[in-house]
Amino acid sequence: MKVLVVGGGGREHALAWKMAQSPKVQAVYVAPGNGGTALDSRLENIAITDVQALRGWAQSEKIALTVVGPEQPLAAGIVDEFRAHGLRVFGPTRAAAQLESSKAFSKAFMKRHGIPTADYETFSDPLAAHAYVKLKGAPIVVKADGLAAGKGVVVAMSLTEAHEAIDFMLAPETGANPLGVTHNAGGARVVIEEFLQGEEASFIVMCDGKNVTALATSQDHKRLLDGDAGPNTGGMGAYSPAPVVTPQIHARAMREIILPTIKGMAQDGIPFTGFLYAGLMIDAQGQPKTLEFNCRMGDPETQPIMMRLKSDLFDVMMAATSGQLDQIELDWDRRPALGVVMAAHGYPLNPRKGDLVTGLPSLDSLKQANAMVFHAGTVTPPPGQGGKGAVLSAGGRVLCVTALGHTVKEAQKRAYEIADGIIFAGAQFRTDIGFRAIKS
């Protein structure tokens, strides 16, 4: 069977890497892929990103199954397009992808269906938004409505920061962008919400429209710097499982958040298929609340999660695209996995491209070490440059060095040993990934 993975980040490298391990899969294509998927002989990059062109290519290649990684093609309707032409694809339709692509949609949905989340109001009028934050006080959270790659959120600790964020998001021409927010060009709307306290976790499930299967839990590290300081990023590292999600909290998240969401979407006439990612904030009383929904897997959460998945991903996906997830029991490696993101100089505001990355271990030696370096923003260099196996940086997050260990501490040690041997100019990485799970 031939499989297509859509996307070119670390998440897609991990999905493709895992898919290639299935004995039923003869070829795994990644569109557009990256330097890491180019270097792996079991994977092949396809330089097509246009949704219709990709659908045409998938038809002509007789692709048996397509898995979509990122939110942009989902929000652009790739699942609708593939399905309309009889192609098997795992992901939400464009309408269902609004759970992620519009904060206003997802907040209204949660309110309507009684799903725990922060109190909020939506604004398009800057004056009304300013008046609202004045009334509520700081800390308060200002979110741009629309896809913003994790960067459209300002957790304002002071009223000044909140006012600045509103000015930037609702009136970009006057905003000085002091917080480095990515402006949402699509619709000038903001969601302003209550500041929640607690510990975050990523709770990701697979849905086939009616059945739900939870993946292993995980925790991301969204801030750029050690100790959760610095600006928000797409994610600087992750590990699985997340001990904060106790069996009780797991049961509550399923009962209070995931199942009502799947049921609510079906009731609203937009059944959800695909990965559903609830970003949870878990308070001191063990109450999980939804910070956000994503309609896809997390990046970098996918990397440690795929390292721990023992089941055949192809079988799982075939069940998930035929309404048979109830037939599947996912099998996980009991060992934790941990991934450290190595990011480019200048990330997240202005990442530099074109730095030569050297010291990448061979795929064989990584396998021996129960580790893997998943690539994200990398490309293979032009012929004659860089030497065998070297790549050039080509994006903000460059690599995610992921390892299994008998404890989180051991997984962390292995991942950092490998990361320390990988060299590129200006590389940034946190040195404390997994700290919440390590008690020493």
**Number of residues in the chain:** 440
What is the per-residue binding string for ligand GLY in 299-318, x denoting contact by CB under 6 A? x-x-----------------
Bridge pairing between strands 288-294 and 371-375: unpaired
Sole binder of ligand GLY in the list 235, 241, 304, 351 (CB under 6 A): 235
Q: Does 378 bind ligand AMP (CB under 6 A)?
A: no
Task: Report the site for ligand GLY in 141-160 (rule: CB under 6 A).
Answer: 150
Q: Does 189 bind ligand AMP (CB under 6 A)?
A: no
Name the segment binding ligand GLY (CB under 6 A); options: 180-188, 242-250, 295-303, 375-383.
295-303
299's contact among ligand AMP, ligand GLY, none, with CB below 5 to 8 A by partner kind, is: ligand GLY
Which of 324, 369, 378, 325 shows the shortest CA–CA distance to 351? 378
Do residues 193 and 123 lie in contact, with contact meaning Cβ atoms separated by under 8 Å?
no
Sole binder of ligand GLY in the list 101, 294, 321, 428 (CB under 6 A): 294
Bridge pairing between strands 2-7 and 27-32: parallel
Q: Does 301 bind ligand AMP (CB under 6 A)?
A: no
- Residues 33, 228: Cα–Cα separation, whole Å: 30
Sole binder of ligand AMP in the list 195, 254, 335, 366 (CB under 6 A): 195
301's contact among ligand AMP, ligand GLY, none, with CB below 5 to 8 A by partner kind, is: ligand GLY
Tally helices (H) and strands (E) across the chain: 15, 23
Q: Does 279 bind ligand AMP (CB under 6 A)?
A: yes
DSSP 118-132: --EEEES-HHHHHHH
Q: Does 238 bind ligand AMP (CB under 6 A)?
A: no
State how far the alpha carbon of 270 is from the alpha carbons of 40, 70, 92, 261, in Å: 38, 20, 9, 11
Beta bridge partners of 43: 28
Q: Does 200 bind ligand GLY (CB under 6 A)?
A: no
Do residues 212 and 228 lie in contact, with contact meaning Cβ atoms separated by under 8 Å?
no
User: With respect to ligand GLY, which residue has the nearer C-beta, 73 or 298?
Assistant: 298
List residues binding ligand AMP (CB under 6 A).
Answer: 118, 141, 143, 150, 153, 155, 193-196, 200, 222, 232, 279, 291-292
